[in-house]
Structure 1
Amino acid sequence: MGLRCSADTLLRRLINTPETKQSGAPHVGIDEWAWHRGHCCGMLIVNPDTHRPLVLLPGRDQRTLATWFRKYPEIQVVSRDRSGVYATAAREGAPQARQVADRWHLLKNIGDEPERMMYRYMPLIRLVVRELSLKKSPEPEISVPVASLRRLERLKQHIRKKRHQRWTEVMALHNKGCSFREISRITGLSRVTVSRWVGSGTFPEMSTRPPKRGLLDPWREWLKEQRECGNYNSGRIWREMVARGATGSETIVRDAVAKWHKGWIPPVTTAARLPSVSRVSRWLMPWRIIRGEENYAFRFISLMCEKEPELKIAQQLVLEFYRILKT
């Protein structure tokens, strides 16, 4: 802007600017406001027409909100979520106003439902991942020592067992009638996790990450040929790799060749990464797909809907509801 002043000066001028008096509006929107997720610091009331805040009321008390509504009888529409506190306060403080559900929460709710449903289709997600990975060109192969495989498998089984025990505890508490807040306090899990586990109905398996690609991955086939030919000279192998355009350190090659003497099993193909349930549920809704994954998401969902007609119906209902909100 060409202003010759510091950032501190601009902030100081902004803070010292007299606050304009905020009044009511024919249409107001209300929602919780917090510094941190999961904590409620107040109720934020905004003017949806001007996109400006009107007031931040402390806490989440019904009487406080109803008192504020009574000050502005010109309010005709109250846009809110499904909170009973907001509904009761609006009825008491602004009985003349019409209460409507705001579009943001409607879109959020319609996005949450497919995610709860998708937990029942974890076996189908795994099947689709395998089928799509087979259609792709084969990935570079990596070698994994037998001992490492056994240790990793034992560790995975141990983690899964502990996680299953916690899931069983959560479901038992839920069946006894405990609220999500009580279950969260007893188990130490977040309320989001408790809600997701209870809503899934079945034990939610963890997504697995594929091993990271290394500097020698492009050379796996060539190194396999050298090993089969009996060439265990790491120095000679490194010089040939440099002549072919390899970069890096000779130490990497020396370590790899040294492992050939320790009973490594034949190379195994890198497994495709299993997408999370929330990610797959987003793929059902085109407006929530992240840029760059459109093609894979379309093929993934198309294959899932082909194998499970119920998902196709769910996707059609979601899209139809989305069009209604946008028109």
Structure 2
Amino acid sequence: MPTGSQEHPAAEIVCRDRLMAFTKAIRQAAPDALEVADRWHLLQNLSTAVEKTCRRHRGCLRRPATTDAGPPPAAPATPLLERVRQRHRDVNELAATGLSLSAIGRRLQLDRKTVWRYRHNNLEDLLASAGDRGAGVLDPFTDYVQDRFQAGCTSSMQLYRELLALGYTGGYHVVNRYVTSIRKGVAIPTLAVTPSPRTITSWIMRPHETLRASDSAQLETARNACPEIAAACDLAREFTAMLRHRQGHLLRDWIQKAELSGPEAIGIFADCVRQDLPAVTAGLTLSYSSGAVEGHVNRIKTIKRQMYGRASFTLLRARILLQP
């Protein structure tokens, strides 16, 4: 689009997602149009910030099941966590030399998306994510293992077989490692079984009245266990209430509150909203939305993925036009 020209003089309102590059294009093509930040993308960005907070403070929830006091136990070093630390160090050291993500991927034999993840996420978040993937499968059964061990059954293989019959889905090495820690007297106390950060985030982002009683109770437990998660929950619900009830006039006060007293991830989201304040205020005030367009985009992507990338553009176009 030519700079300074008005390509679409009839355009009065333009609804867009959060990418600021669209703002530049809109100002070139329709400088007098009102920009409206799409509400679905706002909720997606907020949900990401809430999940980061829940993941970062997962340790607050994983306290010994027999006590409400004391800090959460430190997770032992594992090969998975050590690999995450090493990759984070290697990727960032190579990036500091000026290498591109693709070049780093070739050097370390990693996919470019993996390199991007290690480059653009801090180590604490990466370790928390890895811990969620690698831990927790034995947690519901540790009481049983400890009771059986005290009763005289000290064979890891026997305990592993008994756990399989009870529904355990992990590997033998996890059981063996835990039994070894009991034998050495260094076993981590039984941890309370907790919902995943993504599950907690889904409860926070949904209207409170739509939650089941059991979900509400678990969310309240998470709030009581961690002030940061409680703050993220309160701020997220205030924002979604503004969005659903079109109360854009309250946005400035919310931003100030989130930046001053909110968790780090929520504060970063609030700062991004401040930088795009007119469009976000319009999105929280006016009825315009690009939700219908996003629905069509999702439909097109689904059709494309069904074709496994092997068909021609002509066939893809025909399927999109003919499929209801």
Greater length-normalized contact order (CA 8 Å, ≥ 6 residues apart)? 2
Same fold (TM over 0.5): no
Between Structure 1 and Structure 2, which shows a larger proportion of helix residues?
2
Who wins on radius of gyration, i.e. which is larger? 1
TM-score, L = length of structure 1: 0.45
Between Structure 1 and Structure 2, which shows a larger proportion of strand residues?
1
TM-score, L = length of structure 2: 0.45
